[in-house]
Amino acid sequence: MDDHLPSGQSVLSYLERMVTYCRMVHRGDLERDYRDAWETAARQLLGPLPNRPPAPAVYTPAEMAPKPPTPKWRTEILAQPVRRIVARFSQQEKDGHGYTTLDYERLECGHIIAAGFNYSESGQPAKRRRCAQCAKEAAAKKQPQPAVKKTKAVSA
């Protein structure tokens, strides 16, 4: 007769209640002990669990988030070659109210652009600008004769 012995199930539920109790009174140290005891008892009474399924493959961030295509505006800006500023000048021009002074920059390629910010981040006057007109000319040259490959001219 082993009626006085606790059943396996009652041992497990006792240990489970103790885990909950220890957690509620913030006794993490005891909670861990009771959890270990519960796991040991469960393995003895219920048998070991089958192995975990293999972990899914680890994805690299590049695979998870494919690189977005370069925006058109960026491609267009990068296509503009950087040219040295050779001169700055102002010109009076007529507008709706009278005359207004506009600032221009002449680039080494001969193109004239409206003056941008005169000062770069370092506080020094900008020495170079990207030339949109050179990019336009290069794109126009490329289109009619796609078979002929020419090395891009560095300066005009």
Show Cβ contacts of residue 31 under 8 Å, excluding neighbours closer than 6 positions.
19, 22, 23
**134: contact with Zn ion by CB under 5 A:** yes
Total Cβ atoms within 10 A of residue 134: 22
Residue 17 backbone dihedrals phi, psi, to 5 degrees: -65, -40
Nearer to Zn ion, 22 or 131 (CB): 131
**109: contact with Zn ion by CB under 5 A:** yes
Show Cβ contacts of residue 41 under 8 Å, excluding neighbours closer than 6 positions.
8, 11, 12, 15
**111: contact with Zn ion by CB under 5 A:** yes
**131: contact with Zn ion by CB under 5 A:** yes
Nearer to Zn ion, 27 or 80 (CB): 80
**Secondary structure class of 26 (helix, strand, coil):** coil
Torsion angle of alpha carbons 72, 73, 78, 84, nearest 10°? Answer: 160
**113: contact with Zn ion by CB under 5 A:** no
Contact segment (CB under 5 A) with Zn ion among 6-14, 57-65, 69-77, 107-115 equals 107-115
**106: contact with Zn ion by CB under 5 A:** no
> Can you say how many angstroms the Cα of residue 8 is from the centroid of all Cα atoms in its chain?
55
Nearer to Zn ion, 19 or 134 (CB): 134
Determine which helix (DSSP H) or strand (DSSP E) holds 37, and give its type and residue range: helix 28-46
In Å, what is the CA distance from 66 to each residue of 43, 60, 76, 110, 152?
Answer: 45, 10, 22, 41, 32
**85: contact with Zn ion by CB under 5 A:** no
Nearer to Zn ion, 126 or 133 (CB): 133
Nearer to Zn ion, 52 or 150 (CB): 150
**18: contact with Zn ion by CB under 5 A:** no
Contact segment (CB under 5 A) with Zn ion among 8-16, 65-73, 96-104, 133-141 equals 133-141
The residues that touch Zn ion, with contacts defined as CB under 5 A, are 109, 111, 131, 133-134
